[in-house]
Structure 1
């Protein structure tokens, strides 16, 4: 006989090779806490939202399932922000929550429509069902193996994502005979039609083919197959927001990054293409823009996606739809593809990159003794290890990376794209550090974002994690400030100190947590100061004071026509707008190669 909570811990360790649990203890999960604590190393945090973000960072780098253990009521509710981000970005995380005794749950008397029955009880399964691939309250001890194996199967099979098991106290503590457990029998795998021959016919016909590469290549662990494919296809490749860093900037096929806040060269390449092959990208709205009818407007669209729903959505209409798992598809197409070369087209796209290289963009340079965040990001990245892991918050932190970074081949970038929550960077960096196997860990945070989970500085200090934390202090919420400037003629609400959002001196906060901390505000000698900082042993915090009046550039910006009508331009027409002559020089068919 074995206790249910002990069975869970042993099965996670022995069958699924789980060697770290992200855990915040609670009365409702006391048996689970005890069993995990005895069997598996665990990491704690000071807020369950942060715990969920930690698990995501761990799963993304480890490319395996992460496990979170929390208690009933507010313990589970605090995780929801992280769960949703894992739902949108396809990250496999198993949540195991404690619950009050089964007889005091609203689940036990559904006919009454109660809001709450047990102490601190939340009917968490009803809440998380729309955000998870599988969610169940375990109401019978003999079903624990069935539910546990099924949850992990769905988390890690097909389009990956979060799953949730809610386990009442009297189920956690129940004794079971393992021989009597109901087994889970996985369904038969899909027999995908890869349509490789159809793809190759279209690729060989195309004069200007383009590959759009996304996060799904990482999720399917097919980085090597992807590179093998590019050895045969001498055609341009652009990467997505969640796929940044997937291909190093110096790769002969790399042609930029795309989207509403992408790179000008990448967007021109996209809009010039006469065929696109989408691999591991769901073509979200940030990528296709609100003028999605004109996304890759001249191209035959081949979309490969594991999720059939993504092939039917109205914001992109594929000419050739292929539902397939990249873990099978990429190795097969890499094997079957003949050499496909388009030297003039590839050279044209590489010339666009040189023409609009971030290093020569005047908007990215330091000025007036103030640090420009783009300039800082470029200088900082140039000093990192070739296999560094960069974990980014959103807004300035992620956009300066996406638009201006020069990545190396073994570097990884983590940023949640679908949910894009403030408070993500610091805890996700902790998770990445725990699975990074000694690699350099960089956390790039914003002054607004880090305040959402700043308590996790204590977690970094407690575990002595050698994370280098950069906080971009631009005096508030710069992206919202830009929006309010554009739409409300400069009337500011809740974006800066003057409008209600105070920003502390982060170097002093770091010192309060006994973390080595500095503040840099002058661009003079920035490189040497950053070099010294990166050489500090153990955790360290660097507050970067930047100018607070910059704008994200280039970007898609609505245009006003002569009659006053506002229109959304297509992706190649980014602000600052180009004159007609320069714009036409970036159209492949209008120039001589």
Structure 2
């Protein structure tokens, strides 16, 4: 059979049901093979970056492989941002590219290009993939496919890339005679005895702790261990905080859910984290925004146990850890569930009451946010939208700006919702393609995307893809008249603006007119006094919808960890617990069980 036909038969047998693609001459045999399959739906995006982003979001929802198909040269380079997104956030994706025929490759000739649109894509994507290869021998196609898919999901998941020259695509292969791939031993797993010892040690530490906390990250979902995690939470009765990528592991209504700590967060979440004396870090990489760029200050009175399948992530913060467990977090949770099941749960009511008090006294969204008569508060809008959505919704906060920092922090996850963004890249332009991938992956569940007006312009061509597929997607565009985050940074550091809004060289089109031109429902919200009814009306609209939300252009972001300039001119950040606007010092100290850092 033709090699291109074999590729998609292989993927269909693997369970792939959607492929995001943009056709090209350099990939024509693969395009044709995909188009002739009835068991894989191909989705035609209008930019290769959108193909890659949609595939990454698709994999997030299914926890299975996302696949994108692009052509040679710029087709591959255009996809790179989505590849990086999958790499940094550990998402299993397969990217297939076309390539010029083997006789047209530059090889070792020293010239910059030989074939038409030729580029050495494997060398470019190699640093941000788990495996990248150009298929030079048609007889190795099964081996490379099996190896790539094995590596994509093994250990810490991530993207893989297979580059197939045009003449190889057209080659005939004998499926029965193709050599396969034999994987070696498991990656990043302790022996059964070592794992048991680690869990026993962690539970021994817990037995003497008075203020324990679990920090739950995306690794729990990647391990398929959500149910095990909930069982352990119920068994231990310990307060839970989540990372931003772990936000939907526990509904906000759960009695042990106390929010997301970080540089922009609720004070209550940060007080809970920083006052802990036992911290179990499950499948979280402790990124700089979460720890306020100061790992040595993180939960400094706590004995810290980190469970992560990537040893490099633990080496990064190894100096602050009391116990490192390099293993699949699902295995750790199942062992903990087994060993903790027969032990009596300690009374932690006093500690839980203290965490609950912080949560109640320091809400992220405050009454005054709802009291505006001019301009819609991001906080108020985020809270109202959160309340109006159901457990069936897929929710996609933007990757950058207020959509990432404020909306996601204010959002209260309901049971059944899938809520995620791409944390690692923080790139604009994910809104529309991510909504396409997530909606299709969920079986066309109602999908809500929340983005800023700046980010929404990137990949805006995908509104046509949404219209063509008639996806049940509602886009809320938080319009703050430009790049608000950049505007705030420039004003704070330099006292002037450059390319941040209409006063400094940047203009953005009318979102409503653009959406109408694409044939979508379009509406604008501007009255804060009738916001809930208006949001409800938008959500009730049939078909793809774009809603332009006129938010306060420069609403103060608070609370947040503030940076300051030291006497030597270098920058430093306050500890996580000491957020701006700073509390009265007496009130602040009253909230600290751990000795505060005075600076």
Q: Paired residue for 1:130?
A: 127
> Of 140, 143, 161, which aligns to 2:140?
143
Q: Paired residue for 1:172?
A: 169
Matches within 5 A, 1:432-447: 432-447=438-453
For residues 365 and 576 of structure 1, the distance between their equivalents in structure 2, rounded to whole angstroms, comes to 19
Whether contact under 8 Å (2:270, 2:576) holds in the other structure is yes
For residues 98 and 230 of structure 1, the distance between their equivalents in structure 2, rounded to whole angstroms, comes to 47
Deviations 1:441-486 (A, max 9, x none): 1011110001111100000001101101100100001111111122
Query: What SS is found at the alignment partner of 1:382?
Result: helix
Whether contact under 8 Å (1:447, 1:475) holds in the other structure is yes
Q: Paired residue for 1:99?
A: 99
Query: What SS is found at the alignment partner of 1:256?
Result: coil
Matched, 1:586 2:591: yes
Q: Paired residue for 1:203?
A: 206
Query: What SS is found at the alignment partner of 2:145?
Result: helix
> Of 266, 286, 289, which aligns to 2:289?
286
Worse-superposed segment, 201-210 or 164-173: 201-210
Residue 585 of structure 1: how far off its partner (Å): 1.9
Residue 366 of structure 1: how far off its partner (Å): 4.8
> Of 415, 419, 435, which aligns to 1:413?
419
Distance 1:558 1:480, change over 3 A: same
Query: For structure 1, which runs of at least 5 residues remain unmatched after alignment?
Result: none
For residues 348 and 142 of structure 1, the distance between their equivalents in structure 2, rounded to whole angstroms, comes to 64
Worse-superposed segment, 283-292 or 158-167: 283-292
Q: Paired residue for 1:318?
A: 321
Matches within 5 A, 1:442-457: 442-457=448-463
Q: Paired residue for 1:276?
A: 279
> Of 232, 252, 255, which aligns to 1:252?
255
Deviations 1:223-258 (A, max 9, x none): 111100011111111111211222111111111211
RMSD (CA atoms):
1.7
Residue 545 of structure 1: how far off its partner (Å): 0.6
For residues 479 and 413 of structure 1, the distance between their equivalents in structure 2, rounded to whole angstroms, comes to 22
Whether contact under 8 Å (2:8, 2:34) holds in the other structure is yes
Residue 292 of structure 1: how far off its partner (Å): 2.4
Residue 549 of structure 1: how far off its partner (Å): 1.6
> Of 36, 39, 46, which aligns to 1:38?
36
Matches within 5 A, 1:4-19: 4-14=3-13, 16-19=14-17
Matched, 1:336 2:339: yes
Whether contact under 8 Å (1:232, 1:340) holds in the other structure is yes
Matched, 1:222 2:225: yes
Worse-superposed segment, 235-244 or 67-76: 235-244
Q: Paired residue for 1:556?
A: 561
Deviations 1:149-204 (A, max 9, x none): 00000001110000000000111110011232121001122441321111111111
Whether contact under 8 Å (1:273, 1:296) holds in the other structure is yes
For residues 120 and 567 of structure 1, the distance between their equivalents in structure 2, rounded to whole angstroms, comes to 47
For residues 563 and 84 of structure 1, the distance between their equivalents in structure 2, rounded to whole angstroms, comes to 36
Q: How many residues align?
A: 584
For residues 167 and 421 of structure 2, the distance between their equivalents in structure 1, rounded to whole angstroms, comes to 39
For residues 203 and 112 of structure 2, the distance between their equivalents in structure 1, rounded to whole angstroms, comes to 57
Worse-superposed segment, 392-401 or 48-57: 392-401
Residue 588 of structure 1: how far off its partner (Å): 3.1
Matches within 5 A, 1:464-483: 464-483=470-489
What TM-score does the superposition give when structure 2 sets the normalisation length? 0.95
Matches within 5 A, 1:355-434: 355-360=361-366, 362=368, 364-393=369-398, 394-434=400-440
For residues 519 and 316 of structure 1, the distance between their equivalents in structure 2, rounded to whole angstroms, comes to 51
> Of 300, 306, 311, which aligns to 2:309?
306
Q: Paired residue for 1:353?
A: 359
Query: What SS is found at the alignment partner of 1:340?
Result: coil
Worse-superposed segment, 462-471 or 524-533: 524-533
Query: For structure 2, which runs of at least 5 residues remain unmatched after alignment?
Result: none
For residues 216 and 408 of structure 1, the distance between their equivalents in structure 2, rounded to whole angstroms, comes to 20
For residues 565 and 414 of structure 1, the distance between their equivalents in structure 2, rounded to whole angstroms, comes to 34
Residue 85 of structure 1: how far off its partner (Å): 0.9
Worse-superposed segment, 141-150 or 189-198: 189-198
Query: What SS is found at the alignment partner of 1:175?
Result: coil
For residues 542 and 241 of structure 2, the distance between their equivalents in structure 1, rounded to whole angstroms, comes to 37
> Of 263, 266, 286, which aligns to 1:263?
266
For residues 532 and 59 of structure 1, the distance between their equivalents in structure 2, rounded to whole angstroms, comes to 31
For residues 142 and 127 of structure 2, the distance between their equivalents in structure 1, rounded to whole angstroms, comes to 23
Residue 315 of structure 1: how far off its partner (Å): 7.7
Residue 438 of structure 1: how far off its partner (Å): 3.7
Whether contact under 8 Å (2:217, 2:283) holds in the other structure is yes
Query: What SS is found at the alignment partner of 2:204?
Result: helix
For residues 177 and 145 of structure 1, the distance between their equivalents in structure 2, rounded to whole angstroms, comes to 11
What TM-score does the superposition give when structure 1 sets the normalisation length? 0.96
For residues 163 and 557 of structure 2, the distance between their equivalents in structure 1, rounded to whole angstroms, comes to 43
Query: What SS is found at the alignment partner of 2:454?
Result: coil
For residues 172 and 257 of structure 2, the distance between their equivalents in structure 1, rounded to whole angstroms, comes to 57
Q: Paired residue for 1:86?
A: 86
> Of 156, 159, 163, which aligns to 1:162?
159
Query: What SS is found at the alignment partner of 1:588?
Result: coil
Query: What SS is found at the alignment partner of 2:162?
Result: strand
For residues 564 and 317 of structure 1, the distance between their equivalents in structure 2, rounded to whole angstroms, comes to 27
Query: What SS is found at the alignment partner of 1:312?
Result: helix
Query: What SS is found at the alignment partner of 2:516?
Result: helix
Whether contact under 8 Å (2:444, 2:472) holds in the other structure is no
Matched, 1:522 2:520: no
For residues 62 and 53 of structure 1, the distance between their equivalents in structure 2, rounded to whole angstroms, comes to 14
